[in-house]
A and B are shown apart, each in its own frame.
Chain A
Amino acid sequence: SQTIHQWPATLVQPVGSPLSLECTVEGTSNPNLYWYRQAAGRGLQLLFYSIGIDQISSEVPQNLSASRPQDRQFILSSKKLLLSDSGFYLCAWSGRATGYSRNTEAFFGQGTRLTVV
């Protein structure tokens, strides 16, 4: 069965410090990978998605970056955190859509609650 691991679960970082959040997927190959951020009481904002190794698409301008050094590893980074980077970060994977009726729901990691102080 497929599993997704995301760590750490909580993180408190000072403004200006670097960030590295890691996500790994097991039990599947060539997944689509995603990073979302959720502000308190809000929906999920898509930050990055990846369809393959070193293939990253950024959705919003920000001081975050993402990398996919291996097929099932997705990393979210920042060189200098801002207060506005606080939020709940979620990594997710989905399978490839093959055919019009393929159900390719997203499976989420447990999330990282980041507080920038």
Chain B
Amino acid sequence: GQNIDQPTEMTATEGAIVQINCTYQTSGFNGLFWYQQHAGEAPTFLSYNVLDGLEEKGRFSSFLSRSKGYSYLLLKELQMKDSASYLCAVRDGGGFKTIFGAGTRLFVKA
């Protein structure tokens, strides 16, 4: 079966660093994505990993370990506007289907 797990909720303080973990078991693997979704809006793309290692993009970084079926999204210098849901998604081996996790709701407090 296909399964993507991530924590339901996390809370962090403005200016701090937070790490959101994601583990997956899918039928093949053709890339892992992280999306941000504010309440009532569509998801927007944050990052993509297909090879092991860390990808850095400004305040956001994403890490992938394919052998462990594991990824994390690292958010630095948290801002109040970072309060949102963060969705981990995996594209399967066929390259057509992207399966999403349930998302992690991040609350940033002052």
Contact = CB atoms under 8 A, between A and B. Distances in A.
B98 to A, nearest CB: 6
Central interface residue in A36, A94, A104, by most chain B CB within 10 Å: A104
A62 interface: no
Given A101-B51, A105-B33, A43 B45 contact: no
Given A43-B100, A43-B101, A97 B42 contact: no
Interface residues of A, number: 28
B48 A103 contact: yes
B106 interface: no
Nearest to A39: B102
Contacts of A107: 45
A46 B96 contact: no
Contacts of A34: 98
Contacts of B45: 105-107
B73 to A, nearest CB: 14
Interface stretch (A12-20, A76-84, A108-116): A108-116
A117 interface: no
A43 B102 contact: yes
Interface in A63-117: 90, 94, 97, 100-101, 103-111, 113
Contacts of B95: 97, 104
Contacts of A109: 42
A94 B31 CA distance: 13
B29 to A, nearest CB: 11
A72 to B, nearest CB: 17
B42 A90 contact: yes
B7 interface: no
B98 A43 contact: no
Contacts of B48: 103, 105
Closest 10 CB pairs of A and B: A43-B102, A108-B42, A44-B100, A105-B45, A97-B95, A103-B48, A43-B100, A43-B103, A111-B42, A43-B101
Given A43-B87, A43-B100, A44-B89, 9 more contacts: A36-B100, A41-B105, A42-B102, A43-B103, A44-B87, A46-B98, A100-B50, A101-B50, A103-B48
